[in-house]
Amino acid sequence: MTYSSFLRNSVICIFFILLTPKYLIAQTDPVFKPISADIIKLPSKVLGEDRKIYIYVPPADTLQPDKRYPVLYVLDGDNHFSLMAEYCRYLSRKDVNVMPEIIIVGIPNTNRTRDLTPTKSIINYWGKADTSSGFRFKSSGGGNNFLQFVGNELIPYVDAHYKTQAFKIFAGHSFGGITTINCLLTQPDMFGAYIAISPSFWWDKGYLLRLADQKLKTNQVINKKIFYSDGNEGISDSASTFHTDILKFDSIITQRKITGLEHKYVYYPEESHMTEPIKAYYDALRFIFTAVFPGTP
């Protein structure tokens, strides 16, 4: 074997070791154990189908066997459950101590367009009507029915089977973002805090902006927290209203001066629609628990 080939093979070996998760090599620090979660099948009369649900529960506290936890419900559980669980596990560690331990409930999709859109619409992303048989949003409009499932079936199940506190968070991205905002506007008492990452306000020609303008009134009292954000969606797309729409939403909330509604808007110009959640969910958790958790710096 030549020196160059030996060096190349050595580098490849080291690279592989660095990328291999620690728990596949040697586990000496329990902090880095891979996450484990309950996977349940919840029959839904509201949706007429069985729904798979992921549930992460913090390790049992032997000193507080009756300890109860806040609960975070995250949409697009297929993609974002593990991310949120790892963030919460890390931030709630005793040596980090910026939020309490928390139960995370991930809701994977069966029909994402159906469940995460508030209205039936034939309007596409470009604002044009599309009545073709292949229209990708043909199944839209089941969002309020989906919220019924969450409020009447999923939350009662979790509360009955796990040691939950009353404080609950609802988090979503894109269509999930408009779902959490729709919940805040129509059923605000379902959750104590809301996270909307890159909410698709373009849906149905700005339906949720019109609803926000109607529902959010000056001098209204809403004792909730909401974090909302966007990335560089539509920067090279003159037809996109992603950024301008979320600025309109922020303006409505800011100008109405709603009592008790704590809100924070963050713009991530260097992040795309799909990379933004990495930063935004972290920032959202820090925002929500700054006031709620006394151990937060």
CATH class name, domain 37-292: alpha beta
Residue whose structure tokens are 């509360």: 159
Q: Where are the domains of the chain?
A: 1-34, 37-292
- Lowest-pLDDT choice from 3-12, 33-42, 143-152, 228-237: 3-12
Give the pLDDT of residue 235.
66
User: 124: pLDDT confidence band, cut at 50, 70 and 90?
Assistant: confident
Gap between the Cα atoms of 163 and 38, Å rounded: 14
Distances from the Cα of 108 to the Cα of 73, 119, 191, 250, angstroms: 11, 21, 19, 29
- Work out the burial of residue 105: count CB atoms within 10 Å of its CB; fewer than 13 is exposed, 13-18 middle, 19 or more buried: buried
What is the C-alpha separation between 57 and 198, in angstroms, rounded?
28
- pLDDT reported for residue 15: 41
Nearest by Cα to 121 from 109, 144, 106, 137? 137
What pLDDT digit, counting tens, does each position of 164-188 carry?
A: 999 999 999 999 999 999 999 999 9
pLDDT bracket for residue 119 (50, 70, 90): very high
The pTM of the full predicted model, rounded to 2 decimals, is: 0.86
Question: What percent of the chain has a predicted confidence (pLDDT) above 70?
Answer: 85
pLDDT at 62: 83
What amino acid occupies position 104?
Answer: I
Q: Tell me, what's the pLDDT at 19?
A: 45
* Burial environment of residue 76 by CB neighbours within 10 A (0 to 12, 13 to 18, 19 or more): buried
pLDDT tens digits, 56-106: 999 988 888 899 999 999 999 999 999 999 999 999 999 999 999 999 999
Q: What's the confidence (pLDDT) of residue 131?
A: 82
CA dihedral 81, 179, 108, 45 (to 10 degrees): 140
Position 150 pLDDT exceeds 50: yes
- Check if the beta carbon of residue 93 is closer than 8 Å to that of residue 102: no
Give the three-class secondary structure for 126.
coil
DSSP letter assigned to residue 82: H
Question: Has residue 6 got a pLDDT over 50?
Answer: no
